[in-house]
Chains A and B, each alone.
Chain A
Amino acid sequence: MMLAGLFLMWGREAWHLTQLLIEPVYFVSGLNFPIARLGVLGSVAISILPLAVGSTRCASLPSRDRVPAGTPSPAVEALISSGWWSSSSPSAAGRLAILEHAPVTKGVSRFAAMTTDGLAAPEWGGFDPARTRGGGWPDVRRSFVTAVRLGWQMEANWTDPILFFIYSVAKPLAATLILVVMLDVISGGSRPDYRAFVVIGSALWSFVLAGMSGLAWMILDDRERYRMLKYIYVSRATSSR
């Protein structure tokens, strides 16, 4: 949400920032190699983004490749993740508030400038929930379900769900096969214990990409193709104010 907020303000320029961060985040996520090999740096990395906790612990790696010394307890890691979440949410909300109130020309906000005569935003340029109908928990639930379904369909490009599922599963499975064969060739078949790590890493790496660039890409996609974000934004169910 933090980078997506920047995307709203800066447009495509923020995309470079996202691209800049993806590889370092991949690195500290510890999904591509046992993070314990980095020593103290590994314990710092695993503290920042504890994705590697699961992959190293589930895979029954040799003792030298398990979680590095100095890694915080799961409770502390949970606190760090909560801190990430709680600090990024207000940050994104703050940028949205800046956008709502940012004067463009002659005191008219960007959102007000997008509306037509008679349907203009209030003088302060924001969203007035009193002008809308509906609301309440059923509307929120319906909007959420519709958004999830829409997101899934956009991801699948409205193709046959079964065909898309087979394709989207076959590709990472084939990629995993490549890594498993590479591992067996390099180790001479003597380290089957690393296979689990490779499989877990291959299964989870897409979360890093989806988390880091998914929201930002959604805004870019909407601005350049679908152009529905402003309507979703002013609908009653998306605003709690």
Chain B
Amino acid sequence: MAFGGFVMSSTRAAAVLIIGRPCYGVTFSIDQWALLIGVFLLTLAALYGLG
């Protein structure tokens, strides 16, 4: 059930990033996608572990 909330948060975050990028004229520079996603997922795992 908590994963359902996580899916909702992920959808919202993705939509904000995708829509906000052209709307607010921002650019992101990402060199290592795999590392970024890996650290992000591990951080979330730690955060949910604490919660």
Contacts and interface: CB of A to CB of B under 8 A. Distances in A.
Interface of A: 1-4, 18, 21, 25, 49-51, 53-54, 57-60, 74, 77-78, 80-82, 84-85, 87-89, 92, 144, 147-156, 165, 168-169, 172-173, 176-177, 180, 192, 195-196, 199-200, 202-204, 206-208, 210-216, 218
Given A214-B2, A216-B51, A192 B25 contact: yes
Nearest to B29: A60
A50 B43 contact: yes
Contacts of A200: 17, 28
Given A54-B36, A85-B42, A176-B24, A211 B4 contact: no
A77 B39 CA distance: 8
Interface residues of B, number: 42
B27 A149 contact: no
Query: Which of B7, B26, B36 has the most A CB atoms < 10 Å from its CB?
Result: B26
A13 to B, nearest CB: 16
Prevailing SS type, chain A contact patch: helix
A147 B44 contact: no
Interface of B: 1-9, 11-17, 19-21, 23-30, 35-36, 38-40, 42-51
Nearest to B37: A54
A139 B49 CA distance: 24
B1 A176 contact: no
Nearest to B15: A169
B4 to A, nearest CB: 2
Contact of A210 (B6, B15, B17, B38): B6
Nearest to B7: A152
B44 A211 contact: yes
Contacts of B50: 1-3, 21, 25, 84, 88, 211-212
